[in-house]
Amino acid sequence: MIVALIIACEVGFWVLLAAGLALRYLAKMPGLGAAVLLCEPLLELVLLVVTTLDLKNGAAPDWKHGVAALYIGYTVAYGHYTIKWLDGHAAHRFAGGPKPAGAGYGAARAVHEWKLWGRTILAAAVALGLLQLAIWYVGDAGDVSSLKAWQFGALRAVGIHALIAVAYTVWPKKAPAGAEDRTPLVKTER
């Protein structure tokens, strides 16, 4: 049941995102579109509650609970970022907004990658916290080795992403020949 709910939450995320952006830019109802987009966190709340109830009702902690914790951590850290990024592209495509800036090249790209790494740290911290709460909740009554393995997986993701950021710092991405110099991730107020 947890796996099906994780899949439903992921599908629901994209459906709500598409509906919110369509209402905002195609149907010209920005208020209603924003309200739909604000429903996104409810999906993670439902997943958290169902996962907790599953453990409370005696389910053995296993990989499904670990995936749920990582999914919640990821959406906490990257959900708003993803929505904002897609909103900028939708505004450009459908409402004549400015073209969103890319991640850039050189030092600007390295800074962008380090900021994303910060988001990965947040995702891992949320997942680690949820997994630790589950470990304490289950206590000595069950085998929590799967949950501990997912904690290590979250830390491993932070390390791998740090290596990616280091690579962009040491070997900066160069602009293609003839490409215009783009400003990285310009913040626009809406």
Give the model confidence (pLDDT) of 14-48 as tens digits: 999 999 999 999 999 999 999 999 998 999 999 99
Give the model confidence (pLDDT) of 102-116 as tens digits: 888 999 999 999 999
pLDDT above 60 for 188: no
How far is C-alpha 124 from the chain's CA centre?
11
**Alpha helices (H) along the chain:** 2-21, 30-37, 40-56, 63-95, 106-138, 145-170
181: number of Cβ within 10 Å: 9
**Model confidence, pTM:** 0.85
Give the model confidence (pLDDT) of 124-138 as tens digits: 999 999 999 999 988
Q: Which residues contact 186 (CB under 8 A, 6 or more apart)?
A: 101
